[in-house]
Structure 1
Amino acid sequence: MTFDEYVENIDDKWKDSFLKTWNTVEEHLPDGFIVDVQHGMPGFSVPKSTYPEGYHVDQTPLPFIGIAAQKRHLAVYHMGIYRDEELYEWFVNEYPKHMNTKLNMGKSCIRFTNPKKVPYELLGELAEKTTVEEWIELYESRLK
């Protein structure tokens, strides 16, 4: 599946917020990440030309951020907040400054159940916080 095919199949309820989230993350993400589709979801990964080992499970490009329009929510999967406690805490503490809704979040998955209530500015700030090199270093540090 390609990115365009994924977008074509998004429910109208989520399409605008998905695209705005995607564009926000893409605009703010440091250089070096590529766009790919893994496990049926578009996202941003470290290319194998930069990190030949790839993701340890299936040796695909190392995933970093995935964005998915689900039936009941928009999901942003950010592996950095899963691996970096400081980044996780920063996001949790910043969220109430941007939204007056309860944060719906797992360890790496941020879920938005209302397409009109997505903190785009905050997602842009989050995307800026980790470079390709920092993500590789963090990923490798957790493997040891």
Structure 2
Amino acid sequence: MIEKSEAVDKYIAAQPQDRQNDLNELRDTLIKSLPSGFEETIGYGMPAYVVPHSMFPRGYHCDPKQPLPFVSFANQKNFIALYHMGIYVNTDLLNWFTEQYPLHSKRKLDMGKSCIRFKPAELPIKLLGELLKQMTPKDWILLYEAALERR
């Protein structure tokens, strides 16, 4: 089980009151759904779930002092963003998510490469829980290393 971070508590508490329930629900889904091995922290100013250095000592190639990022979320002005690095690298996972999304939301999917944008109070929590269960830290490390080799 992922241990909750006081820094993430502070991040959520600093957000507008009308967003805190959504952010807490998303955080709880991340904690319950991510396979064991990921750690909760603050990365790049937002709540992040990472592969710790104890599991992947090389760290993030852009800054090896940082653990390997996997998923993070942020409160933005007009939406809540979920950044899922695995969906950016794994085409099968991306295809699964885009096929499943309309079954869980009436809104059009608003997505960048790894960023999925949601209107407040419209988080498809069940689908996000299923997405988060799809990749272990070891799976992510293998995909990450393969992606680096292709560069």
Q: Shorter-chain-normalised TM-score: which range?
A: over 0.9
Alignment of 1:19-58 (within 5 A): 19-58=24-63
2:98 aligned to which of 92, 101, 117:
92
The equivalent of 1:143 in structure 2 is 148
2:73 aligned to which of 67, 78, 82:
67
1:8 aligned to which of 13, 16, 41:
13
Give the counterpart letter for 1:106 in structure 2.
G
1:79 and 2:90 correspond:
no
Q: Cα deviations across residues 17-42 of structure 1 (Å, max 9, x unaligned)?
A: 11101101210100000011111011
Alignment of 1:112-131 (within 5 A): 112-113=118-119, 115-131=120-136
The separation in 2 between residues aligned to 1:72 and 1:95, in whole angstroms, is 20
Q: CA deviation at 1:13?
A: 2.1
Give the counterpart letter for 1:111 in structure 2.
R
Count of aligned positions: 143
The separation in 1 between residues aligned to 2:114 and 2:80, in whole angstroms, is 13
The equivalent of 2:3 in structure 1 is none
Q: CA deviation at 1:120?
A: 0.1
Gaps of 5+ in 1: none
RMSD in angstroms over aligned alpha carbons?
1.1
Give the counterpart letter for 1:141 in structure 2.
A
The separation in 1 between residues aligned to 2:129 and 2:41, in whole angstroms, is 19
Q: CA deviation at 1:14?
A: 1.3
TM-score, normalization by structure 1? 0.96
Q: Which runs of 4+ in 1 moved over 6 A?
A: none
Gaps of 5+ in 2: 1-5
Give the counterpart letter for 1:103 in structure 2.
L
Q: CA deviation at 1:7?
A: 1.2
Q: CA deviation at 1:11?
A: 1.1
